[in-house]
Amino acid sequence: MKVLICDKTENEYIEQMRAAGLTVDVQDTITPEDLFKVLPDYDGMVVRSRTKVRKDLIDVCPNLKVILRGGAGLDTIDHEYAKTKGIAVMNTPLANSASVAELTIGYMLMMARSLYQATASIKAEKWDKKSFNGDEIGGKTLGLIGVGNIGKEVAKRADVMGMTVIAYDPYVKEIAGIQLVTLDELLAQADYISLHLPKTKETSNMISTEQFNKMKNGVRIVNCARGGIIDDNALYEALVSGKVAGAALDVFAEEPPTDWKLVKLENVIAAPHIGASTKEAQARVGAEVADKLIAFAQK
């Protein structure tokens, strides 16, 4: 089987695939234009979040048998369409979970203690201790919207830190140690809200003005899931008005954003989609990619 690696993958696992008999070519900076020219010669492809696999690309690849996404989400792939063409679509849903969960907790702590603002202040050679009187997250209520693999890992860590964890997930009927509630109940009770669900037609802009109005005054929000689940304009207004005390954004509807006004607010911290960017997660992704492609090739 001939495989094209379109995004960064650990070399150890590329060699593992080659040792198993796969022909593996690496073009991990390939442009969308060049991908249309090159991919028709391949049976399989490995992508991360950078490379998008849409219908028009699938249509010019008659030999394509498998698309493997290193990561949890499939929103960058027209996966249902690919399946109608007989193409297997796989991902690595567990590999990133711990890394994204730790980042989520880190964002919560940063907001609770104004660590971004305090660091900026002291780098400016100011000793403004009185401006940074923060909060403990212990004793607060964390509302998880989505309790898949990542949401469960966040819940474990939040519980250890003394938080009460509630969750809304229409696809989960029961989960140990977490009280499942309606979305409206979560919005009304949570001091912190963290999103851990895929971007779909149903979840697009599911957190907008109506939902912000139902939240506690001074709520803090973390989004390490997908951009576009929160309505950016509504979030901006909620942050400016003080309804939302702070937001931590790791993902954006457009990456990179074309409108930077949201992230320039003083009460917003943000990063360029780094949830899975740890050495450990990259190694787990590479290992799972290799295992799944080798197993697929040997069927």
pLDDT tens-digit map of 44-70 = 999 998 999 999 999 999 999 999 999
| Domain identity same for 69 and 146 | no
| Domain identity same for 247 and 262 | yes
pLDDT of 71 reads 86
pLDDT, mean of residues 33-47? 96
pLDDT digits (tens, 9 = 90+) for 260-286: 999 999 999 999 999 999 999 999 999
* Cβ(163)–Cβ(139) below 8 Å: yes
| E strand or H helix that includes residue 248 | strand 244-249
| Domain identity same for 85 and 157 | no
| Domain identity same for 44 and 171 | no
Residue 18 domain boundaries? 2-95+279-297
Residues involved in catalysis:
226, 255, 273
In this structure, what CATH number is given to the domain that contains residue 235? 3.40.50.720
CA atoms within 13 A on the CB side of 143: 20
| Domain identity same for 179 and 244 | yes
pLDDT digits (tens, 9 = 90+) for 194-243: 999 999 999 999 999 999 999 999 999 999 999 999 999 999 999 999 99
pLDDT digits (tens, 9 = 90+) for 72-85: 878 889 999 999 99
Under DSSP, is residue 132 helix (H, G, I), strand (E, B) or coil? coil
Nearest-angstrom CA–CA distance, 265 and 186: 26
pLDDT of 98 reads 96
| Domain identity same for 118 and 256 | yes
Which region holds residue 117: left if phi is over 0, alpha if psi is between -120 and 50, else beta?
alpha
pLDDT digits (tens, 9 = 90+) for 202-214: 999 999 999 999 9
| E strand or H helix that includes residue 213 | helix 209-213
| Domain identity same for 135 and 198 | yes
| Domain identity same for 152 and 257 | yes
**Number of domains, the chain:** 2
Q: CA 127, 118, 165 angle in degrees (round to 5)?
A: 145
| Domain identity same for 193 and 229 | yes
Nearest to 275 by CA among 154, 144, 103: 103
| Domain identity same for 173 and 90 | no
| Domain identity same for 82 and 109 | no
